[in-house]
């Protein structure tokens, strides 16, 4: 079952509660929250205080994508704020196994993220620990970038690895998910679709979320 995860990075931050509600009415089932520190990525966004506020205005799971250095230092604060899923970058974790255990130990669903240049072959050992693998299909830091085509091969390889290892982790894709790419992404095997610009960019999140999800479901044969 494919799910749409509206990314609030492209939302109107002055009207976040309304924007999230609209994306939810359009069929979004998990809210994707991009956390950037200006070090791991060349942009700065939001942190636990905003997650805490979001927690009060939606019942949907909050999927926090940490694009930060030293994520271990902040994982307890995200748990405290009400995050449900937390993903950390392979490239930002010196001790990835420890970081994933820390997330799970705080009662949240752990995910690992790989940048476009990072091979999914590096993940074998930790795949049994994760709830989701997030494939970055753009270089992280900004919304509205062009989908990197070889991400489709990484998705297909993860489907294969999941089968070979007898696991059930979900495959999430983030970056450039839009009308012209969503069918191929779903057909490659991704089932968690993050979309920022395609949902919030034109100022009609409800209608645009609905249309994107419909296209995804059609491609998935659902």
**Per-residue buried b or exposed e for 9-31, using 16+ beta carbons within 10 Å of the residue's own CB:** bbbeeeebeebbbbbbebbbbbb
Structure tokens at 101: 């255990």
The rounded distance, in Å, linking the Cα atoms of 81 and 62 is 10
Are 196 and 136 in contact by the 8 Å Cβ rule? The answer is no
Maximum pairwise Cα distance, the chain: 46
Q: Which does 27 bind (CB under 5 to 8 A by kind): ligand DX5, Zn ion, none?
A: none
Stretch that binds Zn ion, among 34-42, 150-158, 184-192, 199-207 (CB under 5 A): 34-42
For ligand DX5, which residue of 195, 209, 212, 216 counts as binding (CB under 6 A)? 195
| 174 in contact with Zn ion (CB under 5 A) | yes
Stretch that binds ligand DX5, among 19-27, 143-151, 165-173, 179-187 (CB under 6 A): 143-151
Exposed, middle or buried by CB within 10 Å (0-12, 13-18, 19+), for 62? Answer: buried
For ligand DX5, which residue of 27, 28, 47, 143 counts as binding (CB under 6 A)? 143
Active site positions, annotated: 34, 174
Stretch that binds ligand DX5, among 4-12, 55-63, 164-172, 182-190 (CB under 6 A): 4-12
Q: At what angle do helices 48-57 and 16-25 cross, to 10 degrees?
A: 50
For Zn ion, which residue of 65, 89, 131, 210 counts as binding (CB under 5 A)? 65
Smaller CB distance to ligand DX5: residue 14 or 168?
Answer: 14
| 172 in contact with ligand DX5 (CB under 6 A) | no
């Amino acid at each position: 079952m494919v799910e749409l995860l509206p990314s609030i990075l492209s939302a109107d931050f002055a009207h976040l509660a309304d924007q999230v509600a609209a994306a939810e009415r359009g069929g979004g089932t998990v809210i994707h929250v991009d956390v950037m520190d200006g070090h791991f990525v060349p942009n700065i966004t939001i942190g636990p205080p905003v997650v805490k506020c979001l927690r009060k205005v939606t019942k949907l799971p909050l999927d926090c994508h940490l694009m930060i250095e030293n994520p271990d230092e902040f994982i307890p604060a995200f748990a405290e704020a009400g995050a449900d899923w937390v993903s950390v970058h392979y490239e930002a974790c010196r001790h990835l196994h420890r970081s994933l255990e820390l997330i799970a130990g705080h009662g949240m669903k752990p995910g690992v993220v790989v940048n476009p240049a990072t091979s999914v072959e590096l993940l074998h050992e930790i795949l049994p620990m994760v709830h989701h693998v997030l494939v970055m299909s753009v270089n992280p830091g900004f919304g509205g970038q062009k989908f990197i085509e070889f991400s489709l091969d990484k998705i297909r390889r993860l489907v294969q690895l999941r089968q070979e290892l007898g696991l059930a982790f979900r495959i999430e894709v983030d970056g450039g998910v839009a009308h012209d790419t969503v069918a191929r992404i779903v057909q490659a095997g991704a089932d968690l679709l993050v979309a920022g610009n395609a949902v919030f960019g034109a100022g009609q999140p409800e209608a645009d979320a609905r249309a994107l999800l419909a296209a995804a479901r059609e491609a998935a044969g659902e």
